[in-house]
Amino acid sequence: MEDIKSMLRKSKDDAKESTIDTYSKALSKLYRTLKGLDKKDNIDNIKNIKDWIYQEEDILKIIKNMSSHSTRKTYLTGMINLLSYDNKNSETLKNFILEAKKNRKDMLVQNKDKSKFKKDKKDTISYKDLVNFVNELKKDLYSPQGSSYDTYILFNIYLKFPFRNEVGSFIFIDNKDFAKIPKDIKNQNNYVVASTRDLKIVRNKYKTSDTYGSIITTIEDKNLKSLIRKYVKDKNIKSGGYLFLNSKKNNHISSDEVSHKLSFWSKKYMDKTITANDIFKIRILDKFNDLENKTNKTNETTLKREFLEEQGNLRGTQLDILIKEYLIK
């Protein structure tokens, strides 16, 4: 019966001998852990790979408990090569490849998270500061020097979602009316769709819509739902009307007008000009800080990566772009 090194060589015939040694040692340690063996115990049975390499759940549990993502990479790659040697079409192999891809993303997040992103923490206002600022907007809402109602609602939306300036183009519409709109018209607009219990944001026209298509986001936050419904009622916005209206132009506010509102009022209250992208970055910082303070270090980077992927899916942005634009700038 072939030994592990021989199997690895056949699976990865271009690998250096030192690489084969590394994978072999890792797989031997993995096998001992899986079988509950110590260093003195004989592991000749490791050669009977069909007897253990398909114990997917147990093996992945061992690997995921490793604190170093670099170490995880070694073990996952070793397993992939061994599984590939045995059966290139197995579902287990596909699952290990998928896990390796996730781990590579985790390593990317971890490496960038250690770099310039850390330095930015000193220069960026906190999420708590941002919330306090929006609360101040509310207090001054009806004073002569206070912000407009729509500016207050804009900031509340950005506190919860990683959207770009397309927020200014939102059309408020009842669900029954939304269902009647022809598809070609829908695809050219962005909506806040209201039903008896729910509010959903349907974005069809945004920076990366050609790639991501229509993105539907349910507003789960009860406070934000209540704020938007009250705003619609107070402003007497009918179904099909713009949520943020430029009355002079009888159109929704433009992307530039959104930027102006965000920058003008943040400068006035916090003496710092911020954009929609800045607010998104502040939200990332806050979430990362929370994970660093509350999460087991073994899972911290994975949870950070999952948060970024979730936000990227909401926003319509790939993970590698988020890392480049928001973790290292």
In the block, tokens 């059309």 appear at 171
The answer for residues whose C-beta is within 8 angstroms of residue 286's C-beta and 6 or more apart is 126, 127, 128
Question: For 174-199, what is each residue's pLDDT tens digit?
Answer: 999 999 999 999 999 999 999 999 99
Specify whether the CB–CB gap between 312 and 300 falls below 8 A: no
| pLDDT reported for residue 77 | 94
Specify whether the CB–CB gap between 193 and 202 falls below 8 A: yes
Burial class (CB in 10 A: 0-12, 13-18, 19+), 262: buried
| pLDDT reported for residue 1 | 54
Higher confidence at residue 95 or residue 249?
A: 95
Mean pLDDT of 216-241: 96
| pLDDT reported for residue 113 | 56
Q: In the chain, where do the E strands start and end?
A: 170-174, 190-194, 199-203, 215-218, 241-242, 245-246, 251-252
Question: For 244-264, what is each residue's pLDDT tens digit?
Answer: 999 888 899 999 999 999 999
Is the pLDDT assigned to residue 221 strictly greater than 70? Answer: yes
Its pTM stands at 0.74
Question: For 136-178, what is each residue's pLDDT tens digit?
Answer: 999 888 777 767 899 999 999 999 999 999 999 999 999 999 9
Mean pLDDT of 18-36: 93
Is the pLDDT assigned to residue 292 strictly greater than 50? Answer: yes
> Both tokens of residue 178?
């939304």
pLDDT tier at 104, thresholds 50, 70, 90: confident
Q: What percent of the chain has pLDDT over 90?
A: 68
- Residue range 127-314, CATH number: 1.10.443
Mean pLDDT of 91-108: 90
- For all residues of the chain together, what is the average pLDDT? 89
**Cα angle at 27 between 24 and 30, to 5 degrees?**
155
Is the pLDDT assigned to residue 296 strictly greater than 90? Answer: no
| pLDDT reported for residue 119 | 47
Mean pLDDT of 53-73: 92
**What residue spans in the chain does CATH classification 1.10.443 cover?**
127-314
pLDDT tier at 329, thresholds 50, 70, 90: very low
Is the pLDDT assigned to residue 86 strictly greater than 70? Answer: yes
| pLDDT reported for residue 148 | 87
Is the pLDDT assigned to residue 67 strictly greater than 90? Answer: no
pLDDT tier at 316, thresholds 50, 70, 90: very high
Burial class (CB in 10 A: 0-12, 13-18, 19+), 161: buried
